């Protein structure tokens, strides 16, 4: 959801109101993997300005969907729109509270100092995959959006069998770490998560024709629908401070 100047001022006013009226509180935030660097980066400023304390936990979108569906307690959750829709339908996230916060795209990474393959076109990207010794990406069975998309893309490109034969499937977390350890020489993951791994280099995004964007949506737990602290944090994630951090971490505002 993109904010205009008037909306941004409204958010700032809303946040100020919450800060002035709220008692310090602990906010449990469950966030899908690629959005964790954003939450972590804004935590100190939010906690200092409000007095609230964030308790942050993350998993794949599919993992969080299962955990929340199984009854895990939380105050704010940031997942994919489809997962949030399911949780609203099941009464786990309060209707009317979800808001689109950001989106990220899929990129390709190599270890720092390694040759950078040509991925400028779909054909070049296909060649880079086939020539790689090992290719790391999120295990689709874990429910990570980039892994699910990439697995389907391999089918579309007609190279599923040879790539899966040399795949390094990561159950969750930062895929590019497999480059640092030497387990893989090419990593496919959300750009925001690639940038979070020292010792790796972002080669670039997937070619435009096959690019995939993942939107992240935040919402309040149904049990915390009236939480002043939770509402304050969602408002903060739409502030100018959060917007600057989104850009630094390889994300952009989600379109309306």
Kindly report, residue by residue over 124-172, the tens digit of the pLDDT: 999 999 999 999 999 999 888 899 999 999 999 999 999 999 999 999 8
Which residues have a Cβ under 8 Å from the Cβ of 124 and sit 6 or more positions away? 117, 118
| Angstrom distances, CA of residue 248 to CA of 27, 42, 109, 143, 236 | 24, 12, 17, 26, 17
In CATH terms, are 5-103+214-248 and 105-210 the same topology? yes
Q: What is the pLDDT of residue 7?
A: 52
Q: Which two tokens stand for residue 253?
A: 């505002």
pLDDT band at 8 (very low <50, low <70, confident <90, very high): low
For 19-77, the pLDDT digits (tens) are 444 467 899 999 987 888 889 999 999 999 999 999 999 998 889 999 999 999 999 99
Which of 20-24, 91-95, 241-245 is least confident?
A: 20-24
Q: What are phi and psi of 60, to 5 degrees?
A: -70, 165
**Using CA atoms, how far apart are residues 192 and 215, in angstroms rounded to an integer?**
12
Per-residue pLDDT, averaged over 224-239, amounts to: 91
Residue 4, pLDDT score: 52
78 three-class SS: strand
Q: Is the distance from CB of 138 to CB of 172 less than 8 angstroms?
A: yes
pLDDT for residue 18 is more than 60: no
What pLDDT is stored for residue 21 in this prediction? 44
CA distance 251 to 220: 22
Q: Collect all residues with Cβ–Cβ distance below 8 Å to 108 and sequence separation of at least 6.
A: 117, 119, 125, 128, 186, 187, 188, 202, 203, 204, 205, 206
d(CA 196, CA 175): 10
Is the sign of the CA dihedral 221, 222, 223, 228 positive or negative?
A: positive
Note the CATH architecture for domain 5-103+214-248: 3-Layer(aba) Sandwich (3.40)
- pLDDT given for residue 204 in this prediction: 96
Q: Average pLDDT, whole number, for the chain? A: 90
The pLDDT score that the predictor gives to residue 253 is 83
Give the H/E segment covering residue 25: none
- What pLDDT was estimated at residue 2? 45
Percentage above 90 pLDDT, the chain? 72
Tell if the pTM clears 0.75, that is, is over it.
no
3-state SS assignment for residue 45: helix
Round to whole Å and give the CA distance between 256 and 247: 18
**Residue 202: its H or E element:** strand 200-205
Closest alpha carbon to 35 in 8, 64, 14 = 64
CATH class of 105-210: alpha beta
Q: Name the percent of the chain lying above pLDDT 70.
A: 91
Q: Please check whether residue 210 is in contact with residue 129, taking contact to mean a CB–CB distance below 8 angstroms.
A: no
What secondary structure, in 3-state letters, does 136-194 show? EEECHHHCCHHHHHHHHHHHHHCCHHHHHCCEEEECCCCCCHHHHCCCCCEEEEEHHHH
Domain ranges of the chain: 5-103+214-248, 105-210
């Amino acid at each position: 959801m993109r904010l205009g100047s008037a909306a941004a001022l409204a958010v700032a006013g809303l946040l100020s109101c919450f800060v002035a009226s709220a008692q310090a509180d602990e906010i449990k935030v469950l966030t899908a993997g690629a959005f964790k660097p954003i939450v972590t980066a804004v935590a100190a400023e939010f906690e200092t300005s409000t007095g609230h304390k964030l308790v942050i936990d993350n998993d794949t979108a599919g993992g969080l969907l299962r955990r929340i569906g199984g009854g895990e307690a939380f105050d704010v959750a940031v997942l994919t729109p489809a997962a949030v829709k399911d949780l609203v339908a099941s009464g786990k996230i309060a209707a009317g509270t979800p808001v689109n916060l950001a989106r990220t795209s899929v990129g390709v990474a190599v270890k720092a100092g390694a040759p950078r393959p040509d991925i400028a076109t779909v054909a070049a990207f296909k060649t880079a995959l086939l020539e790689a010794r090992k290719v790391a990406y999120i295990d689709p069975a874990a429910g990570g959006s980039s892994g699910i998309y990439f697995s389907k893309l391999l089918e579309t490109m007609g190279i599923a069998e040879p790539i899966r034969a040399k795949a390094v499937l990561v159950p969750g977390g930062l895929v590019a770490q497999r480059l640092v350890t030497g387990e893989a020489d090419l990593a496919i993951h959300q750009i925001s998560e690639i940038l979070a791994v020292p010792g790796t280099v972002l080669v670039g995004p997937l070619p435009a024709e096959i690019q995939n964007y993942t939107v992240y949506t935040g919402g309040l737990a149904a049990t915390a629908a009236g939480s002043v602290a939770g509402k304050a944090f969602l408002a903060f994630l739409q502030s100018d401070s959060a917007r600057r951090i989104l850009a630094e971490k390889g994300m952009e505002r989600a379109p309306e």
